[in-house]
Amino acid sequence: MARKIVDLSIPLQNAPMENNPTVIRYVNHTELGRSRTKAYKFPDTSYFPDHMHCATEDISSIATHSGTHLDSPYHYGPECEGKPSKTIDLVPLEWCFGDGVVLDFHDAERGHNITVDEVKAKVAALEGKGYKIKPMDIVLIRTDHTTKYLYTPDFEQTHPGVSVDATAYLCEELGIKVMGIDAWGFDIPTSKMVKLRLEGNSKDFFGSHFYGRSKEYIHAEKLTNLDKIPEFGFTVSMLPIKLERCSGGWIRAAAIIEE
């Protein structure tokens, strides 16, 4: 049986996004050879093959929520379900590897807050195609926003998001623990949420994030290539880097398709 692996991650690059700056200093083979010549007290670089050592990089000014990453319950609040929230190093790896399913909202308007009824309709459509979502499936919300707008100036402030009612339905009614979205964030854009909050709407102000204070679940953000995988019949891997006591961690998310 052939196996196809689809990369669902965006690259970490030098300052790719305004709110998640990343600085990468690239040290090539020749440069490291020169610096290590001094460190090792060699007379010259001829002690290295071709006068070159190995390459390396120094990464700084990077946030745990830069690039494709997985939030931990601690990101949403200090407590969840009456207990201390799990940081990313305490998230069970079993949560992060399992059967995947795509809910397709690629035609949603930019900035749209996906409703619970819209999610229920997609779930019903999947059942009509022969797949019933089961507890602990990993649900991926396809918007195509990352694919289309990642390198545009307004990428962070124009994506569709998932309403708190829709998130609660997936968690409480279907038993979902892990979700993901191919957009900058899981909720609607921050600028839109702030405007709503100033108008008195607290429900949609980081609704899906703050929901994680009462119900234990996690979601991945800044996925990509969800248009390149089927709606079901694949495995998702989104194992996070083990960062002690952190609220999130970078992932090399992938869909594994047995063909």
Per-residue pLDDT, averaged over 141-156, amounts to 94
pLDDT > 60? residue 62: yes
Residue 124 has pLDDT above 70, yes or no: yes
For residue 23, the model assigns a pLDDT of: 87
Question: 104-109: which pairs have CB atoms within 8 A and are 24 or more residues apart?
Answer: 104/142, 104/231, 105/141, 105/142, 105/143, 105/160, 106/142, 106/143, 106/144, 106/227, 108/143, 108/160, 109/160
CA distance 230 to 209: 27
Q: Per residue in 34-43, pLDDT tens?
A: 999 999 999 9
Any bridge partners for residue 101, and if so which? 139, 232
Q: Specify the range with the lowest mean pLDDT, choosing from 38-47, 60-69, 105-114, 218-227.
A: 60-69
pLDDT classification of 21: cutoffs 50, 70, 90: confident
* Assigned token pair, 95: 């949560």
DSSP state of 62: -
Q: What is the CA radius of gyration of the chain?
A: 21
Residue 46 amino acid letter = S
Alpha carbon of 211 to those of 150, 179, 205, 235, 255: distances in Å?
27, 13, 10, 26, 27
pLDDT higher than 60, residue 167: yes
Q: What percent of the chain has pLDDT over 90?
A: 90
pLDDT above 70 for 16: no
On the question of pLDDT at 166 being above 70, the answer is yes
Which whole number is the average pLDDT over 241-245? 97
Compute the average pLDDT of residues 245-256: 98
The DSSP letter of residue 235 is E
Nearest partner of 206 among 69, 76, 66, 61, judged by Cα: 76
Report whether pLDDT(20) > 70.
no
In the sheet that 138-142 helps form, which strands lie side by side, from edge to edge?
3-7, 254-258, 232-237, 97-104, 138-142, 178-181, 218-221, 69-71, 248-250
Please state the rounded mean pLDDT for residues 184-206.
97
pLDDT for the residue numbered 36: 97
Q: Which helix (H) or strand (E) holds 6?
A: strand 3-7
Please tell me the least confidently modeled range out of 19-23, 109-113, 128-132: 19-23
pTM: 0.94
